[in-house]
Amino acid sequence: MRRRVRRTHQETELNITAFLNLMVILIPFLLITAVFSRITILDVHIPPAVKTPLDQQKEPDEKPLQISVIIRQDSISVVDNRMGLIKQFSKEEGSFDYKGLSELLQNMKDKVPDKTDANILLEADIPYEVLVETMDAVRLVEVVQGDVRVQAELFPDISIGDAPAKQAN
């Protein structure tokens, strides 16, 4: 006769100590060597619609101040809707005078400290770098206070649009 052998299966415990040791070393290493990128988002707005002569008749005589920076291939112009052209910065040696633009906008900000919006109007085929540098000059200025350089706001609420057609003289 055959003998029946009864085998019992013993449940063995899973040893995960080595795996946990690996994770304890690996996770801090990955966190330390990871490159954390910072994404900056700027809010830009659509400039207000151009008013028709009928709309302008309905409005009161006093227009609110609207600053526009018009970027063309050969110049950057700062325009006020009440006074017209304030100043034009010509392109010299392949670049624009962003420092002069910033100083002019600082003077305008001193006159109207509560104003925070400005329009940037671009001609076609303006390089992206020119737009970014102009936005930086319009949004912020670096001011030295004592021994520390501080960034102050000029006109942080920027609207971007198309520049009006150049008028023939």
pLDDT in tens, 79-102: 987 788 888 988 888 888 888 889
pLDDT in tens, 155-167: 888 888 888 887 7
- Domains of the chain, first to last: 45-162 (3.30.420)
Query: For the residues of the chain, what is the DSSP string, one character each?
Result: -PPPPPP-PPPPPP--HHHHHHHHHHHHHHHHHPPPP------EEPPPPPPPHHHHHHS-S-PPP-EEEEE-SSEEEEEETTTEEEEEEE-BTTB--HHHHHHHHHHHHHH-TT--EEEEEE-TT--HHHHHHHHHHHHEEEEEETTEEEEEES--EEEEEEPPPPPP-
Does this model's pTM top 0.75? My answer is: no
Q: Each residue of 96-134: pLDDT tens digit?
A: 888 888 999 988 888 888 888 888 999 888 898 889 899
